[in-house]
Structure 1
Amino acid sequence: MIDLMGGVVVHARRGDRANYRPIASGLCEGAEPVRIAQALRELAPFRTLYVADLDAIAGREPHRAELAELAQNFERLWIDAGEVRLAGAGPGLRRVLGTESMGDAESGRAALREGASVLSLDHGPEGRRGPAELHERAELWPDEVIVMTLARVGGDTGPDYDRLRATLARAEGRRIYAAGGVRDAEDLRRLADLGIAGVLLASALHDGRLGAADLAAVMG
């Protein structure tokens, strides 16, 4: 998982985007997107990269060139770019539809009807973000759903296990992904035991709390 802002990868911390700064990674020097992506691939055989284009989400110009380069390093690219529809970023492009970027339930439903998308159920410190209907009506969800707890991103409080359990209970076989708060290998094991299909990781990789051996044990 990487967050793009101002042409570089930034360190996401608890959803406070105004104070995000370029990432200082233990995996490589610098914060250039392609360099970070290559360092992640050297750490483990990740096939999918989730990218939050924070400029696009905020209504600014998206990182089109950077996204096209990133697509060359991964089999699949999941991109949350707010309301922007990106084309030409690669054959493995999947659009992530974040509820925080949905103006109302109807526009969210319309976007989901277009297909080939991943839904991100976004939660801030204040609670659910975006239309309540998209959070509550599981029958509207696509096959892959991210539970994004922004207040835990970049923190050390652990995943939001209660919210993940509640989402899994309503998922009806859909693949649920956890985002926010993963600290170590024990969190990965607990999430796997819950039935979580995958995890969006960043801070624990860059600061070394999760290493190659930990990832190999979980991935296969």
Structure 2
Amino acid sequence: MRIPWSKRKLSHISRLSRKTLINRSCRRELPSPLPKERPPTSELLKEERDFSGTSHVFVYVMLPSRIINMECELVNPDGLMDQLKQLKSIGVDGVSVNTWWGIVEANNPRDYNWDGYKQLFRMVLEAGFNKIQVVMSFHECDDHDPHISLPKWIKEIGQQNPDIYFTDKDGRRNPECLSWGIDDEPVLKGRTAVEVLIIVC
């Protein structure tokens, strides 16, 4: 299905804005109820600090993307736990982590693998934190080794229908993320881009 040019002709700035909006809109704290491995409530309450009515700014530290590999496995659990405990000891309030669409739904549509991230969230709780910001990342990552791309099945669709990507006025495609032009077009194995992103979130 060919996407109308009026929908495809979006600027590079729009692409970056969409990426930012998706990340911000999907940012959320760890849902309740918490996993069974949660530390006793009494221990969490001892560590929790009440800053109501003060000018305290909560400090979150972004964890590196490479702690989860392309098979959605935690790379170095022992080293990560040591680092989390160090962060807790210096008064950090919580941590942030990117969860990559290219890892979670990597190979087939609706085939989700959250194993590594679930293990990570349990470890964050065990380290004494009860706050975590999860950034749902639906774009590619060039800073990760190995490179985190869009899901394999999305790339295959893009080879047949490059209109799913942003296109500038000179006709150049940018395959780092999906175009706004398919937000309402069921070109992703019967789903629209919005349907795909909402289900993952």
Superposition TM-score, scaled by structure 2 size: 0.32
Q: Which has the larger radius of gyration?
A: 2
Higher strand share: 1
Superposition TM-score, scaled by structure 1 size: 0.30
